[in-house]
Amino acid sequence: MPLSSSVAWIFGIAALSTCVACADEGAETLARPVSAPLPAPRPRVDGPAEAAPAETQPAPVCDGVARDFGIELPTPTTVTVPKDSDVVPELNRINQVPAFCNELTDQVVLNDDDVVVPCGVTVDVDARGLHAKRIRVATGGVLRLAASTSLVADEELLLCPGAILRGVPAVGFELPSQNGFSVSITARKRMLLMGTLETHASYTKTPEHGTGGAVWLWTERLLFAGLIDAAGKDPPAGTQRGAGGVVTIEATKESFFSGTVHSGDGVIRVPVL
């Protein structure tokens, strides 16, 4: 897949370079996480409406009905591995949103095998992070960072369409902007990003602007059809965004890339872009 104009514009001519030294001042770059025991996040059955006090978001509709979020997924003929590669493609078989995304349940699962965040539920994750075989966030679910942290999935990480992984401090618009939380995400086998990953600085009406948190993604197989926003894509009227954070994306075997990245700078190293 050719480099989209949106990604080229965001990253500029350094989009495919290996330099990350040109990050915005104050952005935090995370190293690859090591394995750690699964902590106990705090589930909150309050949906994604709790953002900054001055910011409102529509409540999710949790009725089990699949909705069109306008994302682009592979087709059986999509090229997802380099020409003459010995890697057997798998991502071109994901032609529909996984059934899990719209399952009608309110059951939160937090164990060594599975982390499941259903629709209408917000799960807070602190600096200890998460480590499980699978980490999955359903449509309408929110995985909310309370600090810079890491997520490790030994098999798969799935962020469904309409799901949010949010690393934006909950600060009112009348207060100075705070830096976004950085996040390092490892999915050892595959990562399916169809929803929104936000780490931009909190929006503000004051002259004091923060910096977006750094995003670092590593996996063998990456399907990216969502949004990564480390810069602040759509500030509410009367507010301003801070400086963009650094986004680094690495996939070693296979990739499909139809999503959008908003950042201050970054690196993309994937087999097919």
Q: State the pLDDT confidence band at 58, using cuts at 50, 70 and 90.
A: low
Mean pLDDT over each residue of the chain, to the nearest integer: 81
pLDDT of 71 above 90: yes
Q: List the one residue out of 129, 155, 136, 133 whose CA is nearest residue 39.
A: 129
The share of the chain scoring above pLDDT 70, in percent, equals 79
Domain ranges of the chain: 1-19+99-273
More confident residue, 207 or 60: 207
Task: Determine the average pLDDT of the residues in 50-70.
Answer: 67
Q: Given this model, what pLDDT does residue 30 score?
A: 34
Q: Give CA–CA dist 101/247, Å, rounded.
A: 26
Q: Given this model, what pLDDT does residue 57 score?
A: 59
Task: Determine the average pLDDT of the residues in 70-79.
Answer: 96
DSSP string covering 231-252, please?
S-SSPPTT-B--BPPEEEEEEE
Q: Give CA–CA dist 171/122, Å, rounded.
A: 18
pLDDT of 85 above 50: yes
Q: Going along 12-113, which residue ranges are E strands?
A: 42-44, 109-110
